[in-house]
């Protein structure tokens, strides 16, 4: 988590160093898989700037040190399950060869591009919040 926060701060200019960042996963599942990087990163940015993510959007991808979004294993199967769960849009690595009926797939090369396509824009410069929940 610390590494992801450092990348978000460096690549997006989102001030998180002075914030307490907490993540909660339903059912107490541990997020050790890199495929969750992009989703957690978008949730942190969303919370820190106070702009909600569209609940019909799912994100899947590994975030590298340079802010690049990398491919993850079994992406077509993961996205098929997302469609089954009712998600309508997916933000995934640009290199992902995925085309699923009923799912708009948005390929991104970087976490900054993912923030743009997720429509997470800072409305005005603001002081970072003391707590960030993702």
Domains, the chain, ordered by start: 2-123 (3.30.230.10)
Residue 100 pLDDT > 50: yes
pLDDT above 60 (res 113): yes
Query: Who's near 4: CB < 8 A, 6+ residues apart?
Result: 37, 40, 41, 44, 63
Q: pTM of the full predicted structure?
A: 0.84
Which among 1, 134, 4, 2 is positioned nearest to 69, based on CA atoms?
A: 4
Query: Which range scores top for mean pLDDT: 24-28, 33-37, 104-108, 122-126?
Result: 104-108
Mean pLDDT, residues 4-22: 90
Whole-number pLDDT of residue 96? 87
- The tokens describing 112, both together, are 């900054």
How far is 134 from 131, CA to CA, in rounded Å?
10
pLDDT the model gives residue 26? 74
The answer to whether 114 and 14 have CB atoms below 8 angstroms apart is: no
pLDDT of residue 69: 97
For range 50-70, the mean pLDDT? 95
């Amino acid at each position: 988590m610390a590494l992801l926060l450092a990348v978000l701060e460096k690549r997006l200019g989102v001030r998180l160093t002075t914030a307490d960042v907490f993540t909660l996963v339903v059912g107490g599942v541990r997020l050790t898989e890199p495929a969750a990087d992009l989703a957690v990163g978008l949730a942190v940015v969303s919370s820190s700037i106070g702009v909600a993510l569209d609940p019909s959007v799912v994100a899947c991808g590994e975030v590298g040190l340079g802010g690049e979004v990398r491919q993850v294993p079994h992406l077509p199967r993961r996205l098929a399950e997302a469609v089954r769960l009712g998600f309508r849009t997916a933000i995934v690595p640009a290199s992902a060869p995925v085309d699923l009926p009923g799912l708009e797939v948005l390929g991104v090369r970087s976490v900054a591009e993912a923030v743009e396509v997720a429509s997470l824009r800072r409305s005005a410069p603001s002081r970072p919040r003391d707590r960030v929940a993702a």
